Amino acid sequence: MLKSIHAALAMSVITLTAFGASSAFAAPLKVVASFTVIADFAKNVGGDRIDVTTIVGPDGDAHVYEPSPADAVAMAKADIVLVNGLHFEGFLQRLVDASATKASIITLTKGVTPIDFKPEFADADAAEGAGTGGGKTVTDPHAFQSIANARIYVKNIAEAFCAADSDGCVSYQTNAAAYTKKLDAVEGEVKAAIASIPESKRVVITSHDAFGYFEHAYGLTFLAPQGISTDSEPSAADVAKLVTQVKQDKAAAIFVENITNPRLIEQIASETGIKVGGTLYSDALSQPDGPAATYIDMMHNNIRQIKGAILGS
């Protein structure tokens, strides 16, 4: 009797060992995404082979986010951490340190051509009268707002997943290729939508400078009272300067953003007489039942709002 129990235990140990050795990840690959856009890309590439935890959730602001103890736990358990980089996630280093995570930290803007941002309004006081009209130049972190860059993020994610889980590599590459085709189609729609707007009307206002890569890729000018981060309030002088410029340049539309307080935009709207055109999704996706629950939905929403506000359709 005793012998047979031993035998049964020995059998189950052998079975468990054999099962465990069949794949490095019998359980899904544990992925932490710093914010919603990256989580969406990861789900499209990883499918059911991965389990994604998102740090900065829907409508959240990564610039000023304060990590929670639960975030540190997720980081500590992660196999892979996917981040934007270019100082988008102000909290990142603190969270990496606090969690003592052993996960690979993958920076998805690797391979992206960064755009420099020169503040026109925020922090412009020091350079007033210097002829260059701006403060010091910094790198714009919002690379994901260009669909060409989204393709680079997706490629980097597929490579990271393949390195961590070689058994799933064919699946990751196949998913990435299929998703990239969808991105190509959306990019065509964005370009067609911008082309339908007269050049003289391609000027819009948002609260912070999140759309530099979109502007660079698709040819629409964005003006914003706040710089590329939301961590400081613009001065009254900055706002007055923007209002003057808006009146001169005849901005065609003005938008609130999902991640920022609408108060400032409402003030500029009332001072310039331009009606608020709607909500643009800048640094985060919407809740699952909102209009920008995925990156592709975000692009569709933003271009529909912009076109609708400018052309009145």
Stretch that binds Zn ion, among 100-108, 165-173, 174-182, 281-289 (CB under 5 A): 281-289
Nearer to Zn ion, 84 or 305 (CB): 84
Nearer to Zn ion, 40 or 283 (CB): 283
Report the nearest approach of Zn ion to the CB of residue 109 (Å): 14
Nearer to Zn ion, 41 or 65 (CB): 65
Report the nearest approach of Zn ion to the CB of residue 173 (Å): 31
Q: Does 283 bind Zn ion (CB under 5 A)?
A: yes
Nearer to Zn ion, 62 or 176 (CB): 62
Nearer to Zn ion, 175 or 260 (CB): 260
Stretch that binds Zn ion, among 42-50, 106-114, 276-284, 287-295 (CB under 5 A): 276-284
Using alpha carbons, select from 75, 93, 61, 72 the residue that is nearest to residue 32: 75
Length of the chain: 313
Q: Does 253 bind Zn ion (CB under 5 A)?
A: no
Q: Does 59 bind Zn ion (CB under 5 A)?
A: no
User: Which residues 111-130 are close enough to bind Zn ion by CB under 5 A?
Assistant: none
The size of the interface with Zn ion (CB under 5 A), counted in residues, is: 2
Report the nearest approach of Zn ion to the CB of residue 180 (Å): 25
Nearer to Zn ion, 46 or 60 (CB): 60
Nearer to Zn ion, 71 or 283 (CB): 283
Q: Does 210 bind Zn ion (CB under 5 A)?
A: yes
Q: Does 215 bind Zn ion (CB under 5 A)?
A: no
Stretch that binds Zn ion, among 25-33, 40-48, 218-226, 280-288 (CB under 5 A): 280-288
Q: Which chain residues interact with Zn ion by CB under 5 A?
A: 210, 283
